[in-house]
């Protein structure tokens, strides 16, 4: 099969893709609700969380930055993959996606490391994990993430014939160079943080099991947080990096007039992994539940209020139905 046929297959699969826009709508709505609840809880518990709240605040900002670009991508896919906002804004949208992705990974890693140090080396770090150092670390994460994502702006996001596309990577003619960049980005932006989190998780698990002074509930809460981080990395981030680079490799093969039989399968897997990685902005606020007990209770209460408001909005007649009074209520009323 020739390169042209491979390219036509790409365009046909992208045009007929109806999963991403529906998933983006779900992520946008759920993400806004969960992040709004998370930020409210963060403000209410600012003094209780102390040093780690700086990372939560930055994590929330990366999520909001990502969510604000979702409506444009929803319009793009509902228009059968036709981008009408210009290539510069397409690059800004893809750039903000990378800021969210690798910013989330960076701040989740910082949260994990801080929890690790406070559990395994509490005496050594006493008085050293200050607000100032947390701010410096946050600035460093933003700087590194921006530096990693900046080269993406220099790759074309449209086809050579300037069709109305907005590629999440680049066109076929620059796929080889982009693959090299993408592999480096995956190694430094994902593999190293993931290795740090797994290492911290293993050591914390060992320390907790050997501890006789720590309460069972406290052990359970700590392990739940670290397990959640492992699941986020394994389910949301890992498949995306694997299939994105596999997809880029297939584009490189296209340039050599090779269209592999697994091409369409990798395309579908890549689209599914993009949906999962977009879900991280909605799942990140759940980390708040496992850091502070009071914050978790407040978060659940806010979610319950949102659920009640949605039920009233979706079924206004139910709120106007009179509930019959019991005998006790009638007597008290009299």
Residue 5's pLDDT is 56
Alpha helices, DSSP H only, in 45-164? 46-49, 53-67, 70-78, 87-120, 131-149
Q: pLDDT tens for residues 262-316? A: 777 888 888 888 888 888 888 887 776 666 555 556 666 666 766 666 566 666 5
Residue 319 has pLDDT above 60, yes or no: no
C-alpha–C-alpha distance, residues 240 and 181, integer Å: 15
CB 113 within 8 A of CB 200: yes
**Predicted TM-score (pTM) of this structure:** 0.81
Higher pLDDT, 246 or 296: 246
Query: Residue 120 pLDDT > 50, yes or no?
Result: yes
Q: Regarding the domain with residue range 3-150+162-309, which homologous superfamily does it belong to in the CATH classification?
A: Rhodopsin 7-helix transmembrane proteins (1.20.1070.10)
Place 105 in a pLDDT band, splitting at 50, 70 and 90: very high
Res. 251: pLDDT tops 80: yes
Residue owning tokens 């979702």: 70
Q: In this model, does residue 208 exceed pLDDT 90?
A: no
Q: Which residue has the higher pLDDT, 24 or 328?
A: 24
Higher pLDDT, 207 or 148: 148
Residues 6+ apart with CB under 8 A from 234: none
Look at phi and psi of residue 257 and say left if phi exceeds 0, alpha if psi is from -120 to 50, else beta.
Answer: left
Using CA atoms, how far apart are residues 108 and 143, in angstroms rounded to an integer?
Answer: 16
Round the average pLDDT of the chain to a whole number and report it: 79
The DSSP line for 106-134 is HHHHHHHHHHHHHHHSTTTSTTTS-HHHH
Asked whether the predicted pLDDT for residue 152 surpasses 60, the reply is: yes
In the structure encoding, which two tokens stand for residue 328, read together?
A: 């006790």
For the chain, what are the domain ranges?
3-150+162-309
Overall average pLDDT of the 92-119 stretch? 90
Mean pLDDT of 191-218: 85
User: Is pLDDT above 80 for 17?
Assistant: no
User: Distance between CA atoms of 284 and 73, rounded to whole angstroms?
Assistant: 21
Q: How confident is the model over 19-66, as pLDDT tens digits?
A: 677 888 888 888 888 888 777 777 776 666 567 788 888 988 888 888
Q: pLDDT at residue 102 above 90?
A: yes
Tell me which of 320 and 73 has the higher pLDDT: 73
Bigger pLDDT: 215 vs 310 = 215
Checking if the pLDDT of 205 tops 70, the result is yes
Q: For 135-150, what is each residue's pLDDT tens digit?
A: 899 999 999 999 999 9
């Amino acid at each position: 099969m020739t390169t042209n046929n491979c390219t036509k297959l790409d365009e046909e699969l992208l045009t007929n893709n109806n999963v991403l826009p529906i998933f983006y709508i779900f992520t946008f709505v759920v993400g806004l609700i969960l992040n709004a609840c998370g930020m409210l809880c963060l403000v209410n518990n600012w003094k209780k969380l102390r040093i780690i709240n700086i990372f939560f605040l930055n994590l929330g900002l990366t999520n909001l930055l990502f969510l604000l670009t979702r409506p444009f991508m929803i319009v793009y896919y509902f228009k059968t993959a036709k981008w009408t906002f210009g290539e510069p804004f397409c690059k800004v949208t893809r750039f903000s996606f990378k800021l969210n992705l690798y910013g989330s990974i960076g701040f989740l890693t910082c949260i994990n490391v801080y929890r690790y140090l406070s559990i395994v080396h509490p005496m050594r770090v006493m008085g050293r994990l200050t607000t100032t150092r947390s701010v410096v670390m946050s600035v460093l994460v933003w700087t590194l993430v921006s530096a990693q994502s900046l080269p993406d702006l220099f790759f074309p996001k449209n086809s050579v014939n300037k069709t109305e596309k907005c590629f999440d990577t680049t066109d076929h003619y620059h796929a080889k160079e982009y693959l090299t960049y993408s592999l480096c980005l995956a190694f430094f932006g994902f593999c190293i943080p993931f290795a740090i989190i797994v290492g911290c998780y293993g050591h914390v698990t060992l320390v907790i099991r050997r501890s006789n002074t720590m309460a069972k509930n406290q052990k359970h809460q700590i392990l739940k947080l670290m397990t959640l981080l492992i699941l986020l990395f394994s389910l949301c981030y890992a498949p995306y990096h694997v299939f994105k680079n596999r997809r880029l490799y297939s584009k490189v093969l296209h340039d050599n007039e090779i269209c592999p039989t697994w091409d369409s399968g990798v395309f579908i897997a890549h689209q599914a992994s993009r949906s999962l990685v977009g879900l991280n902005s909605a799942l990140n606020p759940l980390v708040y539940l496992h850091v502070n007990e009071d914050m978790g209770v407040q978060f659940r209460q806010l979610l319950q209020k949102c659920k009640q408001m949605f039920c009233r909005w979706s079924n206004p007649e139910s709120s106007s139905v009179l509930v019959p009074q019991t005998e006790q209520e009638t007597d008290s009323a009299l």
